[in-house]
Structure 1
Amino acid sequence: MGESGEWKVLADSGDSGAVVLAVDFDTTGRPEARFSDLVANLTTDLTIWESIPPAVEAAAEWSGKEYIDHWARKVAQERPEVRAVMGYCAGSVFAATLAERIAELQGSEPLLLLFDPEITVAQTLLWQFQKIVGFMSSVLPAEDIEAARDAGRRCYEQTPQVGPLKQGLTRLVREVGEPAFTRAGLDHTRREELFDAFGSFMGYLAAAGDLDPFERWRSATAISSSSPASGLNGIRAAGVGADQVSVGRELTFDVEHATMLADKEIAATVSDLLHT
Structure 2
Amino acid sequence: MAESGSWQTLVDGGESGEIVLAVDFDTTGRPEARFSDLVANLQTDFGVWESSPPPGGGARARTGADYIAHWAEPLAAERPKIKAVLGFCAGSVYAAALVERIASWQQERPLLVIFDPEVSAAQTLMWQYHKVVGFMASVISDEDVATARKAGAELHDRTPEIGALKDGLIALIREIGEPAFTRVGLDEARREELFSVFESFLCYLAAAADIDPLDLWHDAVAFSSASPLSGLRAMRAAGVGGERLAVSREIEIDVEHGVMLADKELAAAVSALLNG
Would the alpha carbon gap of residues 2 and 128 (structure 1) be closer, same or farther in structure 2, given more than 3 Å must change? Answer: closer
Q: Aligned partners of 1:240 and 1:182: how far apart in 2?
A: 41
How many angstroms does 1:246 deviate by? 1.3
* Partner amino acid, structure 1, of 2:47: T
Q: Aligned partners of 2:259 and 2:152: how far apart in 1?
A: 28
1:4-153 aligned at under 5 Å gives the runs 4-56=4-56, 58-153=58-153
Question: Which residue of structure 2 lines up, in the alignment, with residue 167 of structure 1?
Answer: 167
Structure 2's unaligned 5+ residue stretches are none
| Deviations 1:32-77, CA, capped at 9 Å, x for gaps | 1110010001011100000001022643542101111110112111
Q: Aligned partners of 2:240 and 2:271: how far apart in 1?
A: 32
Question: Which residue of structure 2 lines up, in the alignment, with residue 209 of structure 1?
Answer: 209
Question: Which residue of structure 1 lines up, in the alignment, with residue 234 of structure 2?
Answer: 234
How many angstroms does 1:12 deviate by? 0.4
Q: Secondary structure at the match of 1:166?
A: helix
How many angstroms does 1:96 deviate by? 0.2
Aligned residues: 276
Q: Secondary structure at the match of 1:25?
A: coil
Q: Aligned partners of 1:100 and 1:61: how far apart in 2?
A: 20
Question: Which residue of structure 1 lines up, in the alignment, with residue 269 of structure 2?
Answer: 269
User: RMSD over aligned Cα, in angstroms?
Assistant: 1.3
Would the alpha carbon gap of residues 141 and 167 (structure 1) be closer, same or farther in structure 2, given more than 3 Å must change? Answer: same
How many angstroms does 1:211 deviate by? 0.6
How many angstroms does 1:15 deviate by? 3.1
Decide whether the 8 Å contact of 1:26 with 1:34 is kept in 2.
yes
Q: Aligned partners of 1:61 and 1:71: how far apart in 2?
A: 12
Decide whether the 8 Å contact of 1:42 with 1:267 is kept in 2.
yes
Q: Secondary structure at the match of 1:101?
A: helix
How many angstroms does 1:265 deviate by? 0.7
How many angstroms does 1:126 deviate by? 0.7
* Partner amino acid, structure 1, of 2:78: E
| Deviations 1:196-217, CA, capped at 9 Å, x for gaps | 1111111100110001111110
Q: Aligned partners of 1:61 and 1:202: how far apart in 2?
A: 12
| 1:223 and 2:216 aligned | no
* Partner amino acid, structure 1, of 2:151: A
Q: Aligned partners of 1:148 and 1:15: how far apart in 2?
A: 54
| Deviations 1:120-140, CA, capped at 9 Å, x for gaps | 011111111111111111111
* Partner amino acid, structure 2, of 1:44: T
Q: Secondary structure at the match of 1:48?
A: strand
Instruction: Report the identity percentage.
Output: 60
Q: Aligned partners of 1:176 and 1:73: how far apart in 2?
A: 38
TM-score where L is the length of structure 1: 0.96
* Partner amino acid, structure 2, of 1:115: F
* Partner amino acid, structure 2, of 1:88: F
Q: Aligned partners of 2:20 and 2:54: how far apart in 1?
A: 20
TM-score where L is the length of structure 2: 0.96
